[in-house]
């Protein structure tokens, strides 16, 4: 079976939750982490047995093996990092919010409309788009699916959005 290769930017509490959840899926491999500096990245990679560590997010984004990037950084960094991910043509799973305000989010959606990235935003706050415990899946700047968290655990559904369904 083809495994989806994921990189994690930000390995604080939320990042470690993502690492654990991804490993439970069985068809996803966390291949890289990025942190604010090389020393911290190396430590986190060693702690979680992840093969690659980057001292900045740009190097992780440029890793040709990484297909999907989970942005688990503090909210004020989302615009810069998510924009760089979209411009690189990689898929994103971003912690909420996509941007600090509607203007930042709109900028990212405009970029996504021009590219091929799939953007997924995790939302567990009812006030965010009035959706509670939902994952918002966007393709080319359009919402294509709104999923409950339990649906995301289904292997075939994730493969469908990654374009690997029916392979392996």
C-beta neighbour count of 50 within 10 angstroms:
20
Separation between Cα atoms, residue 154 and residue 56, nearest integer Å: 32
The pLDDT tens digits of the residues spanning 31-54 come to 999 999 999 999 999 999 999 999
Separation between Cα atoms, residue 102 and residue 97, nearest integer Å: 10
Give me the pLDDT at residue 81, please: 94
pLDDT in tens, the chain (168 residues): 688 899 999 999 989 988 998 898 888 899 999 999 999 999 999 999 999 999 999 999 999 999 999 999 998 998 899 999 989 989 888 887 777 888 887 787 777 777 767 677 765 543 333 333 445 555 555 555 555 555 544 445 555 555 554 444
Give me the pLDDT at residue 39, please: 98
Structure tokens at 166: 């029916």
Q: What is the pTM of this model?
A: 0.75
Give me the pLDDT at residue 128, please: 35
Which CATH superfamily is 4-162 part of? NAD(P)-binding Rossmann-like Domain (3.40.50.720)
Q: Which residue has the tokens 């939902």?
A: 134
Q: Where are the domains of the chain?
A: 4-162
Give me the pLDDT at residue 12, please: 94
DSSP string, the chain: -PPEEEEEE--SHHHHHHHHHHHHHSSEEEEEEE-SSHHHHHHHHHHTT-SEEESSHHHHHT-TT--EEEE-S-GGGHHHHHHHHHHTT-EEEEESPSSSSHHHHHHHHHHHHHS--EEEEEE--TTSTT-SSEEEEEETTEEEEEEEHHHHT-HHHHHHHHT-TT--
Give me the pLDDT at residue 113, please: 73
The pLDDT tens digits of the residues spanning 2-15 come to 888 999 999 999 89
Give me the pLDDT at residue 125, please: 40
How far CA 41 is from CA of 10, 49, 81, 102, in Å, comes to 9, 12, 17, 31
Are the CB atoms for 116 and 86 separated by under 8 Å? no
Separation between Cα atoms, residue 30 and residue 26, nearest integer Å: 11
């Amino acid at each position: 079976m083809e495994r989806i290769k994921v990189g994690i930017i930000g390995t604080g509490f939320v990042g470690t939750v993502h690492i654990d959840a991804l490993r439970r899926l069985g068809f996803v491999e966390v291949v890289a982490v990025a942190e604010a500096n090389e020393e911290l990245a190396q430590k986190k990679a060693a702690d979680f047995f992840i093969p690659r560590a980057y001292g900045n997010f740009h190097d992780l984004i440029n890793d040709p093996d990484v297909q999907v990037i989970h942005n688990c950084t503090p909210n004020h960094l989302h615009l810069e990092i998510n924009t760089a991910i979209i411009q690189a043509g990689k898929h994103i799973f971003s912690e909420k919010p996509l941007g600090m305000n509607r203007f930042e989010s709109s900028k990212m959606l405009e970029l996504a409309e021009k590219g091929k990235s799939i953007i997924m935003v995790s939302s567990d706050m009812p006030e965010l788009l009035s959706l509670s415990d939902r994952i918002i899946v966007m393709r080319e700047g359009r919402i294509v699916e709104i999923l409950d968290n339990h649906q995301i655990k289904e292997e075939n559904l994730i493969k469908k959005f990654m374009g690997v369904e029916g392979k392996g």
